[in-house]
Amino acid sequence: MFDLKDQGKPSTPGFSQIILLDERGNIVCSNDVLFDSSTLLNQSIFSYFPLLESVYKNLNILKNKKEVTLKRVETSFKDLPGFYDFTIRFTEFNGQVFLLWNIDDLTDLYSLFQKHQQSKNEIELSIENLKFLQDGAFEDYLEDKNKLLAILNTENFNYANQIQHALNYNQNAIEGFDFLITNLFKLDEDNQEHNALQDAIESFAEIIVELENLSAILKKKKTPAKSKNNIEKVFFEAIEKIESQHSKNLNVGMDLNIDVFSHSIDQPQFLTKLFETLIVNSYSDHFSSKIDLNIVAKSSKQISILVKKTFNLDQTNGLSPENIQLLSMEIYLRCSLLKELVKFYGGEIENPEGGSEHFSILINLPLQTNLGSSITDNS
């Protein structure tokens, strides 16, 4: 059996599982992010997922379509309760037929979506049922309910955007399949991991160089507006590069909400979110177990972020020494990225506890701001 461990990646806000099935519906390999597939070994998965059987029955159609995506799937499989998007792709290698099945867990978002859809439908039903009301009462009722529907529609739109956002991340897994399938049969696990880490390191190193260059440029610039634009531009480019790495299915621990960039860089919420994200991204690798952040406003011009990381070294067992070294380099470079960004804001990293995994960051806010209650304990 091939090992897909570490090929899956944490996505925003859920997780994805990748499963490779043979032509009889038996599992060839899986990264087991969402459920333990070993309990289903030597059994056709079709008996647990009739949907797959249904799709598989139409393999010839699927061959032409290449892939089919089914959104908001509810399964009856006990280990997979919730809402998932399934992407099923037909593939052939050395004359052998495979189904690549990607499961994106979007339970949280879709549960909210369901609640809103339920409210909408119930209102529509109540409108239909109350049409017999007389003397303008129905019109008044309708007006009230239509206002409520308009609000719900807006919220649904927002959920739809969030879901799309999450899917943009989750799509990475299925896109990574091409890479996976092409290389699965010719590369051993170490080579794959080595390449992925090497790629990530190069990317992060590029970002840091760019940030350092920008620091130098900014020192010579005196126009705040231009500086601000430059900062935003570089952040966008840096984040794009990180996302690009992420989209190659390289497990670099990203958990970034790009929406923060739609807000002004001057807003404290923006900074809080940005640093919260960067810290988690910088110090979170796919072997770490937990990152706790405690963000507090020290004054109207300064925020403090206390960072605690708990390691679980057991999970690095099985990695080759070379890959452990590469992993360490990757984490080091990501930490460097964080330090550069703190420097951008004239902040500093304090280390009162003396341990590298337990430190605090002081960040000076760029303009006069009115820190609200939104910046409190965020651990």
Residue numbers at the binding site for another protein (CB under 8 A) = 49-51, 53-55, 57-58, 61-62, 65, 68-76, 83, 110, 113-114, 117-118, 121-122, 124-125, 128
DSSP string across 356-379:
TTEEEEEEE-SS-----TTSS---
Q: How far is the CB of 128 from another protein (least distance, A)?
A: 6
C-alpha span between 280 and 122 (Å, rounded): 41
| Closer to another protein by Cβ: residue 122 or 188 | 122
CA distances from 343 to 84, 116, 214, 340 (A): 41, 43, 11, 5
Q: Closer CB to another protein, residue 158 or residue 379?
A: 158
Q: What is the side-by-side strand order in the sheet with 348-355?
A: 290-299, 302-310, 358-364, 348-355
Q: Taking the complex as a whole, how short is the minimal distance between the CB of residue 210 and another protein, in angstroms?
A: 41
- Residue with Cβ nearer another protein (54 or 351): 54
Residue number with CB closer to another protein (52 or 254): 52
Pairwise CA distance, residues 218 & 215, whole Å: 5
What is the distance between the alpha carbons of residues 210 and 216, in angstroms, rounded to a whole number? Answer: 10
User: 122: burial class by Cβ within 10 Å (0-12, 13-18, 19+)?
Assistant: exposed
Closest distance to another protein from the beta carbon of 113 (Å): 6
Q: Give the nearer residue to another protein in terms of CB position, either 141 or 261.
A: 141
Structure tokens at 200: 């990530």
Nearer to another protein, 123 or 187 (CB): 123
Q: Least distance in Å: CB of 37 to another protein? A: 19
Query: Minimal distance in Å, beta carbon 158 to another protein?
Result: 16
How far is it, in rounded angstroms, from Cα 277 to Cα 307?
12
CB of 46 to another protein, least distance (A): 9
- One-letter amino acid of 46: F
Q: Provide φ and ψ at 296, rounded to 5°.
A: -135, 150
